[in-house]
Amino acid sequence: MLRAWAPGVPGITEVFHAHFTDHAYPVHAHDTWTLLVVDEGAIRYDLDRHEHGALSPAVTLLPPFVAHTGRAATDDGFHKRVLYVDTGVIDAALTGAAVAGPSLPDPLLRARVDQLHRVLREPGTGLEAESRLALIGDRIREHLRAAPEPDGAPGTSDLARDLRDLLDAHLVDGLALREAGRVLHAHPAHLVRRFTAAYGLPPHRYLTGRRVERARRLLLDGAAIADVAGAVGFHDQAHLHRHFTRQVGTTPGRFARGAG
């Protein structure tokens, strides 16, 4: 079972419902907040190199640009519902608190997330969805601002951030590390070390993940799969298929068919 769609609600880039049994997400990062609830089973995941679990009573919040993985913690897999929420709803400055405590065992928050998912399935409910999202954002901010900022919270050096900006600017055409080093006045090996320390994954995996994220959005907008590969920087459709399936847990074709 899989369904994905762009709801047209400001602040939500994608809604993703899926059931997986044996898919294991590789290390990757999103440019949005991942607001996750588990309806059946359990998920085990690493966030910023620390192991966590996602269970059905709680809401799980993963911050943007922080590397994570994911896999089933039970033999029967898991059923999850995800909202990808932009930083206009939850400030990226709260990343450290979210990394320290990504699980929010809050029945009211869980109920509000459930209500929003139900509303997002119905046409003509944009204003209600925005209102419910605003309440969810307020509740999450209360949690994160109440949490003490952890020692050693993930930080990003100026060099790592500058390389990330360069990679984002060269999403389609790509960027050689030697060229990045020339622009940023740093040795390529030093760039890789600093970037990996800051974001938990090397630059090439970050770039691949961003291309997959862009492909998801184009597919949800109705773009043809044959056109998407080149539009996001993959060599061909087979290259897109391989990386998309590895990261998302389904093929681009199935993902597109589940959109709507």
What separation in angstroms does the CA of 181 have from each of 17, 105, 160, 164?
A: 40, 44, 11, 13
Block means of pLDDT (10 residues each) for the chain, length 260 residues? 92 95 92 97 92 93 95 93 96 94 96 96 89 94 77 65 95 92 92 91 93 96 93 94 94 85
Pair of tokens at residue 237 = 């459709």
- pLDDT for the residue 126: 86
- pLDDT for the residue 153: 45
Rounded to whole angstroms, how far apart are CA atoms 136 and 120? Answer: 14
For the chain, which domains are there?
Answer: 2-146 (2.60.120.10), 158-258 (1.10.10.60)
- pLDDT for the residue 159: 92
Q: Which residues, in sequence order, are bridge partners of residue 186?
A: none
Encoded amino acid at 107, one letter? P
Apex 19 CA angle, 18 and 22, nearest 5: 125
- pLDDT for the residue 48: 87
Burial (CB count within 10 angstroms: exposed 0-12, middle 13-18, buried 19+), residue 211:
buried
Q: Roughly what angle, to the nearest 10 degrees, separates helices 188-199 and 203-220?
A: 60
* Distance from chain centroid for Cα 175: 23
- pLDDT for the residue 260: 54
